[in-house]
Amino acid sequence: MNARASDGKPLHELTAVEAHAALVARRFEVQEYVEALLAWQSHWGVLNAYAQQDPDAVRRAAARAHPDASPIAGIPICVKDNIDVAGYATTAGTPGLRDNRPRASAPIIQTLIDRGVIVTGKVGMHEMAAGGTCANITFGAVRNPYDPRMVPGGSSGGSAAAVAARLTPASLGTDTAGSVRAPAAHCGCVGFRPTTGRYDRTGIVPGSVRRDTAGWLTRSCADVELLDAFSGTPASPASPVALRGLRLGVPRRFFYDDLDPTLSPVVEAALERLRQAGAELIEVDLPDMDALLGRVFSQLRRDLPHDLQVYIRESGATVSAADIIHAVADQQLRVGFEAALAQAADESSDRSGEDEALAALNGAYAAYFTDNSLSALVMPTTPEPAYPTPLDVAAGGTGPVSMIRNTHPGALAGIPGLSVPAGLTAAGLPVGVEFDGPVGADSTLLRIGRAFEEITPPLPPPPSPA
């Protein structure tokens, strides 16, 4: 646990970029790095971040890794438990998939493994990726490293907790409505949702195939840039971003409404730093978001039974969509999913209204960026910081829907979103600021994130557990 890099930094504190540079320079070996992370994990059992881990398999992968083989070789990552990794079950945090062992890794995972990435295990999540508490009835509650009494956010809570607590430098999660960005904000790490479709989503237990995407959680935007380059369709190249003269939209109405009084000052201080650095903050609102979103929200889970069957066919799972749905442990979720199952059986069900609403939402975002000559918009990732974990985990529940109020619209529109730590509340809880950009502007967004990091004091690491 006491292994250190040549600059004195503990190995578990290294970002992915720092770790790979040190490995290439032979300052330490991959096996030494992995052992340091495994030792550090033993001190953070309170988080319940890892749902599954095979330390011997991790060590074997480390022995095979050659840092010179690729820019990401030797980098350890953990993987959300709804993404297929050969050798592990893919449970999606639900009893009906407890024994689901896929025939192969998801293509995005296999690509990373082929380039030398080391999978350190599967991490916990909200059941079926359908909530924000990660108080999982079957596998236990995941905790927030900045305050274990609080939720880590969801549904990629295990990913965010593991990265923030320095158990691993990076994690691959998934985001359908905010499931990467919201936990990143709650746990004080970077969360990136790419433009929908850039990453292959085969081998991922679906929430909604049309909206799902894998996404990265790391401790720096540079780490996301590095891993993103090997994760899917290459992003369009972008020149370095200078904040001076950069036009950023600030949509006060809807996205800044009813902010928690402990979070709001941190967000406003972040806006002031941007302003002082020369960014042009254009206070202009999107059209009435409530009207645009109203018809969509009521139909979000209608595709789940069909999408589950596609996953089952591709992965070789031996259960049916109905088996999975009827076994969901959280009663509130199960009732909703069973309603979707009944709706899926109704061939007269009409989705044209949803399609029209999505087209209007996509058009509103495109016009917002174009008409106002904006590179991105900036907003609080969530309207409040992390909240207490439910006392009765067995009672289930998704948590307040307001936590995805700001993240969900961009996900529906398929645009890229990036949550970056902005500071801590007076109580020491992380606050995230999100930048959303036009479709395909992934690379530019990451460079904006890096520029924001340069003007933002880094968060202190979470307090070590007793």
* Domain annotation covers residue 4: no
Please report, rounded to a whole number, the percentage of residues in the chain having pLDDT higher than 90: 84
Tens-place pLDDT, residues 156-167: 999 999 999 999
Q: Which comes out higher in pLDDT, residue 209 or 223?
A: 223
Q: Which two tokens stand for residue 79?
A: 């993987």
pLDDT of residue 280: 98
Q: What is the pTM for the complete model shown?
A: 0.96
Residue 334 pLDDT exceeds 90 = yes
Q: Using alpha carbons only, what angle is made at residue 406 by residues 360 and 221, rounded to the nearest 5 degrees?
A: 110
Q: Which residue has the tokens 């292959």?
A: 200
Give 1's pLDDT tier (boundaries 50, 70, 90). very low
* Domain annotation covers residue 172: yes
pLDDT of residue 395: 87
* Domain annotation covers residue 336: yes
For 179, the 3-state DSSP assignment is coil
Beta bridge partners of 280: 247
Count: domains in the chain: 1
Residue 180 pLDDT exceeds 50 = yes
| Residue 203: C-alpha distances to residues 68, 316, 324, 419 (Å) | 29, 10, 16, 25
Mean pLDDT of 101-116: 97
| Residue 236: C-alpha distances to residues 195, 260, 341, 439, 441 (Å) | 11, 36, 39, 11, 7
Residues with Cβ within 8 Å of residue 272, at least 6 apart in sequence:
none
Mean pLDDT of the chain: 94
pLDDT of residue 348: 54
* Domain annotation covers residue 289: yes
Tens-place pLDDT, residues 371-384: 999 999 999 999 99
Mean pLDDT of 324-337: 96
What does 338-380 look like in DSSP terms, one character per residue? Answer: HHHHHHHT-TT---HHHHHHHHHHHHHHHHHHHHTT-SEEEEE
For 39, the 3-state DSSP assignment is helix
Pure H helices in 201-248:
221-228
* Domain annotation covers residue 463: no
* Domain annotation covers residue 367: yes
How far apart CA 153 and CA 421 sit, in angstroms, is 14
pLDDT of residue 343: 81
Residue 3 pLDDT exceeds 80 = no
For 431, the 3-state DSSP assignment is strand
Mean pLDDT of 245-266: 98
Q: Which comes out higher in pLDDT, residue 337 or 8?
A: 337
Contact 263, 255 (CB under 8 A): no
Give 21's pLDDT tier (boundaries 50, 70, 90). very high
Q: What is the span of the domain harbouring residue 44?
A: 12-454
Give 34's pLDDT tier (boundaries 50, 70, 90). very high
pLDDT of residue 303: 82
Mean pLDDT of 296-314: 80
Residue 44 pLDDT exceeds 60 = yes
Residue 98 pLDDT exceeds 60 = yes
Residue 431 pLDDT exceeds 50 = yes
* Domain annotation covers residue 108: yes
Contact 49, 16 (CB under 8 A): no
At position 294, the amino acid (one-letter code) is: G
Beta bridge partners of 193: 417
pLDDT of residue 297: 59
| Residue 78: C-alpha distances to residues 16, 107, 123, 146, 381 (Å) | 13, 16, 7, 19, 23
Mean pLDDT of 116-126: 98
What does 307-342 look like in DSSP terms, one character per residue? Answer: HHHHHHHHHT-SS-HHHHHHT-S-HHHHHHHHHHHH
pLDDT of residue 296: 66
Give 353's pLDDT tier (boundaries 50, 70, 90). confident
- Which strands sit side by side in the sheet containing 280-282, from one edge to the other? 50-52, 118-123, 76-80, 170-175, 213-218, 190-193, 417-424, 430-436, 376-380, 247-249, 280-282
Least confidently predicted of 21-25, 56-60, 301-305, 328-332: 301-305
pLDDT of residue 141: 97
Please report, rounded to a whole number, the percentage of residues in the chain having pLDDT higher than 70: 95
* Domain annotation covers residue 393: yes
Mean pLDDT of 308-332: 95
| CATH of residue 184 | 3.90.1300.10
Cis before residue 155, ω within 30 degrees of 0?
yes
How far apart CA 314 and CA 317 sit, in angstroms, is 8
At position 80, the amino acid (one-letter code) is: K
Nearest to 263 by CA among 420, 387, 424, 150: 424
Which residues have a catalytic role annotated? 80, 155, 179
pLDDT of residue 40: 97
How far apart CA 58 and CA 79 sit, in angstroms, is 13
Strands 118-123 and 76-80, by their bridges, are parallel
For 268, the 3-state DSSP assignment is helix
C-alpha 43: how far from chain center: 24
Residue 171 pLDDT exceeds 60 = yes
Residue 363 pLDDT exceeds 80 = yes
